[in-house]
Amino acid sequence: MSTDPLHVVCPHCHTTNRVAAAALAQAPDCGKCHRPLFDGHPVALDDATFDPHINRSHLPVLVDFWAPWCGPCRMMAPHFEAAARELEPHLRLAKVDTEAARQTAARFAIRSIPTLALFVGGREVARQPGAMGSADIVRWVRQKI
């Protein structure tokens, strides 16, 4: 593993933090707001906060594009939460409400929900439409990275 620090964006104040790769598992806190960088929950992103998390983070980011009125999205939500607990701190999980973040949803041509999109190094590398259970989410991500 590299000794270079990783950039990790805080899920609370959206500040980019430098964290040694070896320190990821030691529950690092944000240098600005002093809250945990990882709390086992997906971070809610909107049009303003999406790009910093995707483009500034050295960690892969798995995004769940969803909507509040979508039944399959609501059914998948606890499974996505469980996947966050299993995959953090080596991966950031995020949720984008396509009703509230219309620009981001349009930019990525989200046509069906839920849709999972995996970003690595600021680029989308994989996409999976449809609801999935937590084990399937974890397995799919691990196959893609």
Looking at the annotation, which residues are catalytic?
Answer: 70, 73
CA angle 8, 31, 97 (to 5 degrees): 50
> To 10 degrees, what angle do helices 134-144 and 71-87 make?
60
Q: Which residue has the tokens 């992103």?
A: 45
| Distance between CA atoms of residues 129 and 34, nearest Å | 36
- 55 neighbors 122 (Cβ within 8 angstroms): yes
Q: What are phi and psi of 144, to 5 degrees?
A: -90, -20
